[in-house]
Amino acid sequence: MNTVNAEADNMKPGSKSSDTLKKCNDNLFGSSEEKLSLIFQHNPNAMCISTIQEERYLDVNNAYIDFLGCRREEIIGRPLSDINFWIDMAERDVMKQKLFQTGIATDFEMRFRDKHGKIHWGLTSASVINMAGESYVLTQIQDITGYKLTEEKFNKIFMTTPDCIVISRLKDGLLMDVNKGFEDIVGWKRESVIGKKSTEPPLNLWVNLPARELMASELETGSDVLYREFEFHRYDGSIRSGIYSAGTINIDGDECLIFIMNDITEQKRTNAELRLTLESLRKAVGTTIQVLVSALEAKDPYTAGHQSRSANLARTIATEMGLPQERIEGIRMAGIIHDIGKLSIPSEILTKPTKLTNLDYSLIKEHPRSGYEMLRHVESPWPLAQIVYQHHERIDGSGYPNKLKGDEIILEARIIAVADVVEAMASHRPYRASLGIETAIQEIEKNRGILYDETVVDVCLKLFREKGYQLTNMERPIL
């Protein structure tokens, strides 16, 4: 205990040990003035000390010299006005006024021109300091040139993009800023809407206010809202359709909404007209197909029944494969008429009760080409002519009439090909009895990936073996 007390006494001010410690500190770090000088010179921000009345440079640090691109001797002792680094003089006067009123002025964004004419942005602060009984001004400039250039690029993109962009306060819809796209699409001038609420007169931007409330509640969970359709009011009171995406950003402590919108009114109108046109076209094609089917049925009832059952199977395969409904409908239509080219084949060959000769078979093999010629000028939403043309092509190139291989054969034709073979082998023909569904299934399984598309075969096998599918005629009219 006595030893500890003795050591404590030695550290008291004025003691030998205390003097030694102070001397060590002075040797390591220098005097207070030296410490301040080191901090001043090595501060990463540009700093200068100037007199108050004459505003002459008393000292500048290394960062200040780098910032303005000049030598120390070009600055020290000269008035700030002589150097002419300051561009935004009006802003500087405001800063000076605040400095003399309060002794401190902070965070003024100003531009400076260096010795070589290059412009820099600086976040500038100034304060009155006392040295040796005299008052001076300490100015500090943080280089924010990179930040301002990024901000300028953002503002340029913000203002010039053709999309409508709105920045508003999330809690109440108060508009903070809008771009030129907003003026073009919504019709209000930028200066007339900033500071107003998007949900109240005169804007009343949202036709359906609960939709805006739903968007706000979703954004509050932290997730963005993407590609949402809504209706909005234009300046002239008309109601338009838009599709928007929205997210949140923080601006000066306020949670804000950034809202990007496209006007899709004309697109929706065009799509509606297109749907009507396609529906009309579909009915016209259906009528044409009905006439062709009726003609073929009158000539060969066996072929007509085969087409109907093949179309049903092909449609079911396409559905099981998850194809879009429009594509499935095209496959169904093509299945109904895939043998329409047989109208050009003599009836005595089609209904011949004995085995076909080579000549008979060569004539029948022309039916895909004949069907293509019948259909190629028929306007249709689907590639009916190509499906009919290719339904006897095979994956390995051994089919006819064009020896196409693999993906050269469109998927619709590959589906019809499998349905066609299964139905033909499983059904009666004038020249032979049914070979049975199991024989038909074995045929496509054996030649899976050789003659027939692997995926289509797999789906067809699943339908018969796992889902109990049975060959039937069409269950609904063609139209």
Question: Residue 170 has which token pair?
Answer: 């999330």
Q: In terms of residue numbers, what domain contains 74? A: 23-144
CATH of the domain at 68: 3.30.450.20
**Domain end residue (candidates: 208, 228, 263):** 263
Tokens of 30: 């220098």
- Name the phi and psi angles at 130, rounded to 5: -115, 125
Residues 263, 242 contacting (CB under 8 angstroms): yes
Question: Per-residue pLDDT tens for 49-89?
Answer: 999 888 899 999 999 999 988 888 888 988 888 877 889 99
Q: Are residues 240 and 307 in the same domain?
A: no
Amino acid at 205: L
Q: Given a cut of 80, is residue 36 above it in pLDDT?
A: no
Mean of pLDDT values over 204-222: 88
What's the chain's length in residues? 479
Asked whether residue 6 is assigned to any structural domain, the reply reads no
Q: What is the pLDDT of residue 449?
A: 95
- Mark whether 178 and 129 lie in a shared domain: no
In 44-88, which ranges are continuous DSSP H helix? 62-68, 80-83
Four-CA torsion 377, 383, 388, 394, nearest 10 degrees = 140
Q: Give the torsion sign (CA, 323, 471, 459, 415).
A: negative
Does 319 fall in a domain?
yes
- Boundary of a domain, candidates 115, 144, 173: 144
Tell me the C-alpha distance between 101 and 107, whole Å: 16
Residue 151 belongs to some domain of the structure: no
274 and 409 inside one domain: yes
Instruction: Look at 158 and 184; give whichever has higher pLDDT.
Output: 184
Let me know whether 139 and 29 are in one domain. yes
- 240 and 274 inside one domain: no
Q: Does residue 414 lie within any of the structural domains?
A: yes
Query: In whole angstroms, what is the distance from residue 388 CA to residue 417 CA?
Result: 10
Number of domains in the chain: 3
pLDDT for residue 15 is more than 80: no
Mean pLDDT, to the nearest integer, of 293-306? 70
362, 229: one domain: no
Share of the chain above pLDDT 90, in %: 48
User: Is residue 152 situated within a structural domain?
Assistant: no
Same domain, 176 and 324: no
48 occurs within a structural domain: yes
Q: Which residues of 358-376 are buried (b: 16+ CB within 10 A; e: fewer)?
A: eebeebbeebbbbbbebbe
422, pLDDT greater than 70: yes
Q: Measured between alpha carbons, how far is 244 from 206 in angstroms, rounded to an integer? A: 12
- Main-chain phi, psi angles of 151, to 5 degrees: -65, -40
The mean pLDDT of 350-372, rounded to a whole number, is 84
Domain membership of residue 156 (yes or no) is: no
**Beta strands of 156-308 (E only): which ranges?**
164-169, 175-178, 225-233, 239-251, 254-263
- Contact (CB, 8 A) for 367 and 339: yes
pLDDT beyond 90 at 127 = yes
Q: What percent of the chain has pLDDT over 70?
A: 87
> Does 2 have pLDDT greater than 60?
no
Give the integer Cα–Cα distance in Å for 455 and 450. Answer: 12
* CATH code, domain carrying 284: 1.10.3210.10
Instruction: Looking at the structure, tell me whether residues 236 and 292 fall in a common domain.
Output: no
Is pLDDT above 70 for 8? no
94 assigned to some structural domain: yes
What is the CB neighbour count within 10 angstroms for residue 198? 22
Residues 295, 414: one domain? yes
Residues 345, 393 within the same domain: yes
71 phi, psi to nearest 5 deg = -95, 155
pLDDT at residue 27 in the model: 44
pTM of this structure: 0.47
pLDDT at 19 exceeding the cut of 60: no
For residue 49 the two structure tokens come to 């000390």
Considering the domain architecture, whether residues 222 and 274 belong to the same structural domain is answered as: no
Q: Are residues 327 and 454 in the same domain?
A: yes
Residue with token string 């400076």: 112
Please give, one letter per residue, the 3-state secondary structure of 353-394.
CCCCCHHHHHHHCCHHHHHHHHHCCCCCCCCHHHHHHHCCCC
Mean residue pLDDT across the chain: 84
Strand locations in 203-316, DSSP E?
225-233, 239-251, 254-263
What is each CA distance from 137 to 96, 127, 207, in whole angstroms? 10, 6, 57
